[in-house]
Amino acid sequence: MSLGRVAVAAMAKVPVAGEVKTRLCPPLRPDEAARLARCFLLDRVEQLVGLPACDPLGAYFPPEREAELRALLPGVRLWPQVGTELGLRMDRLLADLLAEGYAGAVAVGTDTPTLPTAYLAETCRLLGGGAADVVLGPAEAGGYYLIGLAAPAPALFVDMPWGTSTVYRTTLARAEGDGRRVAVLPTWFDVDRGEDLGRLARAPADPQAYRAPRTLAFLTELGR
């Protein structure tokens, strides 16, 4: 059976010093944190481009900074995240993409640069083949690194305790409570704190891990 196309949006803030990855400062300086965020974004988009049945795009915030991201991602379809609250932005993004006729729409963060490509491919397979209504990728800290939908699901984004360790569990409970077929991917780690940088540098030893070329080169430059 042929798969339907799935839109996969890399969620990203425009990488400006002092505005991104601030929890990595220290040990990083604000300019270094912005450079790392830039590497995260470029590596994730490059990873998505190689996926079958996937249409990659960059979903950026704030929306008035399109020109800066366009210079960073020439040739990549860009989509503004509209709204002041994360849940509303994600709900609108995925609903708008599904309205274009995609079999599924996915929002994936950029803070998991070593996320195995197989997890992303499985998400596209599940949604493109109609095998799941919701796909969730739990993060170790209790959130999720990825959410994919086959149909709009605003209840999964309203009044969500964003930034807490209960986001994944709450989302899963709501989706199952609505009777949606949920597929859960393996847990992976994101890079939020200084101590995560050492783990990121060691991640390529895991045969599953994606070898994010720009990210790993930048860590080598930093001497980590």
Q: What CATH number does the domain containing 140 carry?
A: 3.90.550.10
* Positions in the chain whose pLDDT score sits under 50: 1
Q: What is the pLDDT of residue 1?
A: 46
| pLDDT for residue 201 | 86
pTM for the whole thing? Answer: 0.95
Q: Is residue 82 part of a domain?
A: yes
Question: What pLDDT does 2 receive?
Answer: 61
Can you give the pLDDT at residue 3?
78
Residue 204, pLDDT score: 72
Q: Does the residue 1 lie in any domain?
A: no
State the DSSP code for 28.
Answer: S
Strands 144-149 and 104-108: antiparallel
Per-residue pLDDT of 95-112, as tens digits, reads 999 999 999 999 999 999
Q: How many domains does the chain have?
A: 1
- Evaluate whether 119 touches 106 at the Cβ level (below 8 Å): no
Provide CB contacts within 8 A for 173, sequence distance 6+. none
**Angle (CA) 88 92 96, round 5°:** 175
How many angstroms separate the CA atoms of 43 and 213, rounded?
7
Q: Three-state SS for 35?
A: helix
| Cβ atoms of 95 and 158 closer than 8 Å | no
Structural domain span for residue 202: 6-222
Largest interatomic CA distance in the chain: 50
